[in-house]
């Protein structure tokens, strides 16, 4: 298995793919924000915290990502280059895109932004995962829980965690809407659609030479 952060195999493609994926992820988040039609569970939470504290959305994304990374310590999870880059690049890109993309009130434009945001997010996720340079902070938290509690399924942990952050975010004023439902239904199939085209295959290992042993009768 390729080690997290190991760049000996196809380093240029993997680095380019990593950062294109992270930039697209942040931009797609901003599109969904500007659509005002609903966000994914973690972004409902981020927006709620942003409204509570007055911090920019990107700053909240960075701070929450850093706190989640601290939770990796007792789970003994190892961050990779992609994990650290995720915390910084996505948040900065969200704020930059929001500064360039003005609010919209036309419903047709909002629907276009929502659709582009969801599709872009699916492609961004596939690019990021396909680069194989470490899980995102939130995904690593979920896999860490499952690794330490073998009786739990990843789907259960993910569902409980996302329902929790969604509920807290909604209470704090984060935006729920049709976009939240559309994202939940579409993001899995979209990522699965794009991932085969974005996955950087691991190098094939040569089989060890076969040692002939003498048989005894």
Q: What is the pLDDT of residues 68-100, one digit of tens each?
A: 999 888 878 788 899 999 999 999 999 999 999
Is the sign of the CA dihedral 110, 91, 46, 162 positive or negative? Answer: positive
Q: What is the pLDDT of residue 7?
A: 65
Rounded-to-integer distance, Cα 32 and Cα 97, Å: 11
Rounded-to-integer distance, Cα 97 and Cα 89, Å: 12
The total number of residues shown for the chain amounts to: 217
- pLDDT band for 203, please (50, 70, 90 cuts): low
Rounded-to-integer distance, Cα 2 and Cα 129, Å: 13
- pLDDT band for 53, please (50, 70, 90 cuts): very high
Asked if residue 29 has pLDDT above 90, the reply is yes
Domain coordinates of the chain in residue numbers? Answer: 12-198
Name residue, tokens 């509570």: 52
* Segment of 44-48, 127-131, 158-162 carrying the highest mean pLDDT: 44-48
pLDDT tens column, 132-143 = 898 888 888 887
Rounded-to-integer distance, Cα 184 and Cα 200, Å: 26
Rounded-to-integer distance, Cα 71 and Cα 85, Å: 17
Q: Which long-range contacts (CB under 8 A, 24 or more apart) does 10-17 make?
A: 10/200, 13/200, 14/131, 14/132, 14/133, 14/200, 15/131, 15/133, 17/127, 17/128, 17/130, 17/131, 17/198, 17/200
| Cα 30 to the center of its chain, rounded Å | 14
Rounded-to-integer distance, Cα 49 and Cα 124, Å: 24
Question: What tokens appear for 12 in the block?
Answer: 């240029």
Rounded-to-integer distance, Cα 112 and Cα 49, Å: 26
Alpha-helix runs per DSSP H in 132-177? 137-148, 154-171
Mean pLDDT of 54-63: 97
Question: What tokens appear for 147 in the block?
Answer: 């690794």
Q: Which long-range contacts (CB under 8 A, 24 or more apart) does 100-109 make?
A: 101/30, 101/31, 101/34, 102/34, 103/34, 103/36, 104/34, 104/35, 104/36
The pTM (predicted TM-score) of the whole model is 0.86
């Amino acid at each position: 298995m390729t080690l997290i952060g190991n760049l000996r195999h196809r380093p240029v493609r993997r680095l380019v793919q990593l950062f294109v994926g992270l930039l697209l992820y942040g931009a797609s988040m901003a599109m969904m924000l500007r659509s005002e039609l609903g966000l994914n569970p973690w972004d409902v939470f981020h927006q709620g915290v942003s409204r509570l504290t007055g911090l920019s959305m990107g700053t909240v994304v960075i701070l929450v990502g850093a706190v989640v990374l601290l939770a990796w310590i007792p789970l003994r999870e190892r961050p990779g280059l992609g994990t650290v880059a995720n915390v910084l690049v996505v948040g900065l890109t969200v704020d930059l895109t929001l500064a360039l993309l003005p609010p919209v009130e036309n419903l047709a434009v909002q629907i276009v932004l929502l659709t582009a945001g969801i599709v872009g997010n699916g492609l961004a996720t596939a690019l990021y995962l396909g680069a194989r340079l470490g899980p995102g902070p939130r995904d690593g938290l979920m896999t860490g829980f499952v690794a330490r509690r073998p009786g739990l399924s990843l789907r259960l942990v993910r569902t409980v965690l996302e329902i929790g952050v969604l509920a807290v975010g909604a209470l704090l004023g984060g935006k729920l809407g049709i976009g939240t439902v559309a994202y939940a239904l579409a993001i899995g199939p979209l990522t699965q659609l794009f991932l085969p085209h974005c996955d950087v295959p691991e190098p094939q290992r040569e089989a060890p030479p076969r040692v002939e042993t003498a048989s005894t009768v």
